[in-house]
Amino acid sequence: MKKIITLTALALCFTFAYDVSAQMSKAEAKEWKKRAKALVKNPEQYKQLLDENKSLKGQVTSLRTELGNVDDRIAEKDEQILSYQSQVSDLRNELTRVQSQAQSQPVSNEPASNIDESRGVVFKVQIGAFTQKDLSKYKDNARNFSEEEEGGVRRYTIGVFREYWDADTFKKYLREMGVKDAWVVSYRDGQRVPIKDVLEGVSKS
């Protein structure tokens, strides 16, 4: 086995030296011939070079495989980015559509705090009805806080709304804060009327 390695090394070295000498100067060719002869005389070194070369080729193959995996992951990330960009574009289009729709709808110029209760239908939230309690002294210090008295019963309401659902939302907030008896009442042209008369089909809780 050792002889085969030596002969193979000798053949390769002289072939290499011949090819190199055709491209190098005489001094360079002479130097490489000396190195080739030294390598032939030491087959173990030659074998070591072959083993090292094989190992390096294996590392190159491994790195190429790893690089291929990285390319695959990059391609996957690129697809995700394209998907996210598409979603963002869709959301922007939806936002533009909603904004355009909102701008096209008529907007009331009547501020909520200046609603004319004597005209049209309005809604309030009643927070209590009492026979023994009188809160009238507070109504002048609280905006949209009002009192009605009928048959010795004082009813107190808070808020004035044109839309039932705005009043209903406010009622729910009051209940969450502990005002358990809060409920929506309705008025037409300043007169209290049953809510079913002004808003048929509304589900109330």
- Return the CATH number at 136: 3.30.70.1070
- Domain-embedded: residue 83: no
Kindly state whether residue 65 falls inside one of the protein's structural domains: no
User: Residue ranges of the alpha helices (H) in 24-159?
Assistant: 26-40, 43-104
Residue 3's pLDDT band (boundaries 50, 70, 90)? low
User: Mean pLDDT across the stretch 53-65?
Assistant: 86
Q: Does some domain include residue 141?
A: yes
Q: Is residue 9 part of a domain?
A: yes
Look at residue 147 and tell me whether its pLDDT is greater than 90.
Answer: no
pTM of the complete model: 0.42
Taking the C-alpha atoms of residue 205 and residue 184, their distance in angstroms, rounded to an integer, is 9
23 pLDDT exceeds 70? no
147 close to 156: Cβ distance less than 8 angstroms: yes
Task: Please name the residues in contact with 184: beta carbons below 8 A apart, sequence gap of 6 or more.
Answer: 123, 124, 125, 126, 164, 167, 168, 171, 195, 204
Write out the residue range of the structural domain in which residue 6 sits.
Answer: 2-41
Q: How far apart are CA 136 and CA 94, in angstroms?
A: 50
Within a domain: 139:
yes
Q: Which helix (DSSP H) or strand (DSSP E) does residue 198 occupy? A: helix 195-198
Q: Is residue 77 part of a domain?
A: no
- pLDDT the model gives residue 184: 93
In a domain, 124, yes or no: yes
Count of domains for the chain? 2
Residue 82 makes CB contacts below 8 A (sequence gap 6+) with none
